[in-house]
Amino acid sequence: MASVAERLQVSPFMTFFIIMSMQIGIGVLGFQRIIAETAGHDAWISVLLAGASSHLILILIYWLLQQADGDFVLLHQRLFGRWVGGVLSLLLVLYFAIMPFVVLNTYIEVVQVWMFPDLKTWEFSLALFLLCLYITFGGFRIVVGICFFFLIIPSYLVFTFWFVLDYSDFYQLLPIFDHSPSAILKAAKQMTLTMLGYETVLFFYPFIKGGKQSAKWAHAAVLTTTLFYTLLTILTLAYFSENQLQRQIWPTLMMWKVVELPFIERFEYIGIANWLLIILPNICLGLWCSSRICKQLFSIRQKMALLVITTICFFCTLWIDDRAEIDFANTILNRAGFYFLYIWIPCLAGITYIVKKVRGNV
């Protein structure tokens, strides 16, 4: 395993918060429309299938980590050689760098549409990237602390969906299995972007005390996230008709409009503001993973790699001008995540198994 001092490691229990903070992000605000367009009122079944498949991939990830002593970059190099393995790992630098870029741009779009139409993208992204850079410079334990607190603090938002029940008709979910299996599976594939995040364990695994013990917490996190998304999908399908849902870009925000409190009229503003806390771990951990891979590949200081990657991400945000480009970036990340998790990880597991049988070790 990659040598990591014990003072830099965290408890296996924290894996639960790391993975959940990565999986619950900006996608919560609008994933329902995308999957309902394909699977209709059976979309909640697709969410369950996406969650079940995530558990299977997570099992393969932990098995691969055990074969490589917890070092995924080293596994690539052992199987494919220094240069080819290095290129494969370099692609993951790009993958994890795209993640904070997509999350931040999607969030900025929400803020501009709902709250501040005149907000300059570069100003907001510069402020956020500087904040995330400051956090990530503190090291992995600081990033984990952000994941923990920024998952707990806004968790009260879950209870606001209680207001939506008075306007929901759960008969809209009937009949069950009204759509073809291919449509339900396609919608499950479209959930890939929303479920992304648990693959970060491939790189923070050495920073967990007794890494194997973290497996149960990783599965608990994926299970909790799956149940949350399933319940939110069911509630959304009960609140909107299928035609209404297709006209909503951010259904979750629209549902918050029915929240009535004596001290605030537009609760969705509170939700959007609180969502900034939720996306910060997405950005910080994505930057940390990409810079960590660079440190292993090029033997450079992680802070230097982090500074370069963050700078590139910032300048890339300046190229985004409209919603079509943001949707395109989301589509790219969704496809990259799908191919990495559901194609490359199983193939890599198969190759590792064969090599182990032939050589006796990887």
- Alpha-carbon distance of 105 to 100, in angstroms, equals 8
Structure tokens at 89: 């790992």
- Find the range with the poorest average confidence among 37-41, 52-56, 243-247, 357-361: 357-361
**pLDDT tens figures, 259-272:** 888 878 889 999 99
pTM summary value: 0.95
Contact, 32 vs 211, CB < 8 A? no
pLDDT of residue 2: 56
Res. 352 pLDDT band, cuts 50 70 90: very high
Percent of the chain's residues with pLDDT above 70: 99
**pLDDT tens figures, 106-115:** 999 999 999 9
Sign of the torsion formed by the C-alpha atoms of 343, 17, 230 and 60 = positive
**pLDDT tens figures, 289-347:** 999 999 999 989 999 999 999 999 999 988 877 778 888 889 999 999 999 999 999 99
DSSP letter (8 states) at residue 342:
I
Start-to-end C-alpha separation, the chain: 13
Give the contacts of 199 (CB within 8 A, at least 6 positions apart): 57, 61, 337, 340, 341, 345
List of domains in the chain:
13-359 (1.20.1740.10)
**pLDDT tens figures, 113-150:** 999 999 999 999 999 999 999 999 999 999 999 999 99
Q: Residues 273-288: what's their mean pLDDT?
A: 95
